[in-house]
Chains A and B, each alone.
Chain A
Amino acid sequence: MKKYAIIGFALVAVLVLSFGFEREKKLVFNEKVNLTFYEDMEANQTDLIEFNSRKFGKDLEKSSINFKINDLIVKQENADFTELNAKGQGVLHLPEGNFNFTFDGMVYEVPLSNGKVILSGGLEGEIVNKAGEDTISINLLYDYTSEKVYLGVTNGHHGELAALPFGNSKLSIDEINELNSVIAN
């Protein structure tokens, strides 16, 4: 009888532990342009926003993004982080039009030493913007703990980039450095 009680207790313990952190399969974000970041880009990042008016249009301070990860599939799990494949779609709501995009890529779920759990990664996809067919790349930084998110969107590649920053993860530079060093190892 005692044996069954121990087995039962162990089963419950395993269940509790495994549900301790439950990963959300779907993630939906709606964010506005981060004006602080955008002003800094206008002052210091001319190469980054060189093609903004051509690809995105004018009055970009009024833009927003709708971003949806449909599925997160675990590809690799180790003591330091979990590597997941993320797929989804979104819409860039710009004053001169709405532009749909799809994406696919690797994201990394990393528990930081201070207890926060972060989702970070780069997602690549296709978009048709004002200038025509283009590639889109989204830099995702999501803090599961505070539910704050940052989405850095670029269209095109080095030399013909358009870029817009949305939201703010409010993670410190030390936390971001820790994150990058854990993933890159």
Chain B
Amino acid sequence: MKKIAIVIAILFANILFSQSTHAQDTYYQKGITYAGTSQTSSSTIVMSVAAMNSGGTKKDNVVVYSRCSIVENVYNADYCVIKSLKTTLYASNSSGTLVTNNSNMIGQVAPEQRYFESVLPDLSIFIPSYRWNLVYYAVQGIFNTGANATSIIHSNNSTYTSRSVTYNYPSANMLEVPSTIAYDRIPVYYSGKAKGVATNFLLHTGGSHFTAKAQLSYEMGRITGYYDVYRFNITSNEAKLIHSVGL
């Protein structure tokens, strides 16, 4: 009986929540960043961030694009596979505990209106965001149901001020962008198309500045003989963007 009551309560909570996301939300583009190396200028990750703040509801939309072709070129690889993507949002303008190297950030671009089809959280994937002990999350992650991956893992830091979504083996078709398209042209080039893996965050905090981060892990393989293949994991630099959620 108790179980049924809990299930009904969760269903009700989801209905309540989903009503607010039915409408189309107006997001503002906050910036596009890439993270490469100073030596080769080879960027292995591109991240685009948009945010909205309407009627007390704050949301962040973090879209990541991959550059397997650059990994192949730089490392003379015979193949490249995208192993994982980790997208994190911090409810502050600090960088948290992660080490950031060579993250190249362009200034926040002039606010530009962008429209997204709002993401209606799927019941089965939304439940893991909650815990029975009713912990207050400053940031809550919900992922775009269109993002295919072998597995998707949610995690948070010990103070519940950041939220991460890790995609293991995310769909390469969605993520990969040819190196011929400059990073700052990507969102325009693929406007309206299903490109990039989007992670949406709900921000339950009064803070005004947030930090979005993303990191990709690739596998490069090299063939020296039919039975002699060696492989290495290549972790991208970390893309980082500190931004506000207002206009």
List residues of A whose CB falls within 8 A of some B CB: 34, 36-37, 40-41, 44-45, 47-48, 75-76, 83, 106, 108, 122, 124, 135, 137-139, 141, 150, 152, 154, 156-161, 163, 165, 168-173, 176-177, 180, 183-185
CA distance A135 to B172 in the complex (A): 25
Contact pick for B81, options A36, A150, A184, CB 8 Å: A184
**Which residues does B use to contact A, with CB under 8 Å?**
36-40, 42, 44, 71, 74-76, 78-79, 81-84, 101-102, 150-151, 168-169, 172, 217, 219, 221-224, 226-238
- What residues of A have a CB within 8 angstroms of the CB of B44 in the complex? 158
- Given A45-B75, A173-B223, A173-B226, the answer on whether A160 and B151 have CB atoms closer than 8 Å is no
Total A-B contacts with CB atoms under 8 angstroms apart: 122
Interface contact B233-A139, CB-CB below 8 Å: yes
Report chain A residues within 8 Å CB of B237: 157-159
B36→A159 contact, CB < 8 A = yes
**Dominant SS among interface residues on chain A:** mixed
Whether A106 and B168, one on each chain, are in contact in the complex, defined by CB atoms closer than 8 angstroms, is yes
Tell me whether A37 and B151 are in contact in the complex, defined as CB-CB below 8 angstroms, given that A44-B76, A158-B44, A159-B102 are known contacts. no
Residues in B neighbouring A139, C-beta threshold 8 A: 219, 231-233
Task: Report yes or no: A185 in contact with B102, Cβ–Cβ below 8 A.
Answer: no
Q: Could you tell me the distance between the alpha carbons of A83 and B36 in the complex, rounded to whole angstroms?
A: 31
Contact status A154-B232, CB under 8 Å: yes
State in angstroms the CA–CA spacing of A156 and B232 once bound together.
12
Contact between B151 and A34, CB atoms less than 8 A apart: no
Complex-state Cα separation, A5 to B229, whole angstroms: 52
A76 to B232, CA, bound (A): 24
Residues of chain A within 8 A (CB-CB) of B150 are 76, 83, 108, 183-185
By a CB distance below 8 angstroms, the chain B residues around A108 are 150
Given A159-B40, A163-B232, the answer on whether A122 and B83 have CB atoms closer than 8 Å is yes
Q: Are A37 and B217 in contact (CB under 8 A)?
A: no
Q: Do residues A152 and B233 form an inter-chain contact, with CB atoms below 8 A? A: yes
A124 to B98, CA, bound (A): 14
Given the known interface contacts A45-B76, A137-B217, the answer about A158 and B234 at a Cβ–Cβ threshold of 8 Å is: yes
Select from chain B the residue with minimum beta-carbon distance to A141. Answer: B231
Q: How far is the CA of A168 from the CA of B42 in the complex (A)?
A: 30
